[in-house]
Amino acid sequence: MKRPDDGILLVDKGEGEMSHGVVKKVRSALRQGKRYKVGHAGTLDPFATGLLVVLLGQGTKLSRFIMAGEKEYLATLELGVETDTLDPTGRVTAVRDVPALSLDHIRETVRRYEGTIRQTPPAYSAVKCQGLRAYALARKGLPVKLKERTITVHSISIVSVDLPDITMRIRCGGGTYIRTLAADLARDLGSVGRLKTLRRLKSGPFDVVDAVFSGDISSESLVSILEKGVSLRNALPEMGEIEVDSMLAEKVRQGYQPGWNELARMVDTVHPSFKRIENDREVFMKLVSGDNLLAIAKKDDGEGGHEKVKFERVFS
């Protein structure tokens, strides 16, 4: 990355670390007397490990787009014991025998959780409840009532079974709580359960194999680590992009909002991304100029049927 404060950094978070602790470490290493904006795209619980997408500078504007991407996890469910947090860090709330379970029965039960399903977030989560984070209420022993939500689980494959442990590889959409999925599955298997281990392998197009270990991040190592960073333009590789000239790019940065026809004239051929936008106004696209990401936009009907380009994010 040309500028270390703009883009994203893939980090392999260690067990016991808080996600915001990793962000703080990166910010501290970057600062060196200056102020840098740093965030992340999707929290990992302290007991969990794996891919944390850290957002640097203007990369924080990409949060909603990266968080919406598909996730992949390696998770181990421990049957027979349940905790209030549904993970190893909580207080034991239930203990139950583990029945004899065949691999075929486990696979058959797991298949019920694939597809579009309804799920209630756990009490120990960052979901808002009565104006507060649910975990803040739960920690005080107050009742937490959260609404069911629709989630998508693309696939669950059984990696190994060594009862009481069942290890699974899970591909799912954003907003899925693997702790809840594990606890619900345990009950369907005739017992109770908690998530014993959790590791995020992928987030959108990014893989933990390309990440730097969080324990290696320091002011001294940051220069070499940032060489592995991802630029703003490459941070959303699955999103179509349209090249604009430098003159229009500068006008956009100054607040200009072009009409759709004006943008169309800049596309020499029938660009696949542009054609898709023409047919679906809700599809986002990247506007790029040279090596730089200029904006993320979508088509907007505008007033009087005048079609414009609606900017969701603009980058300097």
Count of C-beta atoms within a 10 Å radius of residue 171: 18
HEC states along 94-145?
A: EECCCCCCCHHHHHHHHHHHCEEEEECCCCCCCCEECCEEHHHHHHCCCCCC
Angle of helix 178-188 relative to helix 103-110, nearest 10 degrees?
130
CB 244 within 8 A of CB 288: yes
Name beta bridge partners: 206.
Answer: 203
List the Cα angle 63/67/73 in 5-degree steps.
Answer: 140
End-to-end alpha-carbon separation of the chain, Å? 15
Beta strands in 122-274 (DSSP E): 128-129, 132-133, 149-162, 165-172, 193-203, 206-207, 212-213, 241-243
How far is it, in rounded angstroms, from Cα 231 to Cα 204? 16
* Known catalytic residue at 216: no
CA 161, chain centre distance (Å): 28
Find the catalytic residue in 5, 6, 12, 45.
45
User: Token pair of 33, please?
Assistant: 């007397």
CB 13 within 8 A of CB 48: yes
Please give the positions annotated as active site.
Answer: 45
